[in-house]
């Protein structure tokens, strides 16, 4: 049904269990039960590399990152920020705007705050003028 409806299928193998039927002929993405964080990151990157899914994956990640509810969550998600790029102008401004207002991001000095400062400096040309001023006020000067 997925193929008939032109849906994207990403075959997964879990431990020693491999897909059966027609999916068996495709290379699978290995899901490591003991390293789910890494496996989920690999799955997200595989979906991001699919042209039909790229924008939706990026937009979903942006929303998830901007809803971070702890420093640890913001730090962990900030590590994917660079890997899922490049982003368009709307997405860059959304990331900057959301980072300015989420204390779990701008207060996470271990990883999220430096990563957002790096992101800002790499995408400065895409950031709107009013957000540039707000960003510097919240995060300090970018490197």
The tens digit of pLDDT for each residue in 97-142 reads: 999 999 999 999 889 999 999 999 999 999 999 999 999 999 988 7
Q: Residue 22: its pLDDT value, please?
A: 67
Q: Is residue 44 part of a domain?
A: yes
> Where in the sequence is the domain holding 89, given as residue range(s)?
32-139
Q: Does an H or E element contain 90, and which?
A: helix 89-101
Q: Residue 114: its pLDDT value, please?
A: 94
More confident residue, 94 or 51: 94
Report d(CA 118, CA 113) in Å as an integer: 9
Q: Is residue 24 part of a domain?
A: no
Per-residue pLDDT band at 25 (split at 50, 70, 90) = low
**Is residue 24 predicted with pLDDT exceeding 70?**
no
**113, 105 in Cβ contact below 8 A?**
yes
Q: Residue 3: its pLDDT value, please?
A: 74
Indicate the average pLDDT of the chain.
Answer: 89
**Is residue 55 predicted with pLDDT exceeding 80?**
yes
Q: Is residue 11 part of a domain?
A: no
Look up residue 44 and give its two tokens: 């997200």
Q: How many domains does the chain have?
A: 1
Q: What average pLDDT does the segment 7-31 reach?
A: 73
Q: What average pLDDT does the segment 75-93 reach?
A: 95
Q: Is residue 6 part of a domain?
A: no
**100, 84 in Cβ contact below 8 A?**
no
Q: Is residue 60 part of a domain?
A: yes
Alpha-carbon radius of gyration of the chain: 18
Look up residue 23 and give its two tokens: 């999916």
Tell me 70's DSSP state: S
Q: Is residue 8 part of a domain?
A: no
> Could you give the percent of the chain with pLDDT greater than 90?
59
**14, 31 in Cβ contact below 8 A?**
yes
Report d(CA 23, CA 135) in Å as an integer: 47
> Could you give the percent of the chain with pLDDT greater than 70?
94
Q: Is residue 64 part of a domain?
A: yes
């Amino acid at each position: 049904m997925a193929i008939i409806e032109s849906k994207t299928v990403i075959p997964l193998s879990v431990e020693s269990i491999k897909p059966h039927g027609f999916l068996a002929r495709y290379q699978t993405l290995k899901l490591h039960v003991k390293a789910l964080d890494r496996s989920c990151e690999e799955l997200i990157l595989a979906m991001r590399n699919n042209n039909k899914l790229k924008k939706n994956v990026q937009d979903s990640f942006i929303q998830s990152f901007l809803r971070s509810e702890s420093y640890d969550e913001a730090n962990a998600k900030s590590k994917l920020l660079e890997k899922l790029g490049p982003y368009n102008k709307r997405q860059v401004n959304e990331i900057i705007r959301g980072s300015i207002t989420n204390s779990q991001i701008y207060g996470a000095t271990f990883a999220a705050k430096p990563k957002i400062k790096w992101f800002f400096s790499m995408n400065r040309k895409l950031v709107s003028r009013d957000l540039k001023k707000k960003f510097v006020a919240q995060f300090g000067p970018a490197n």
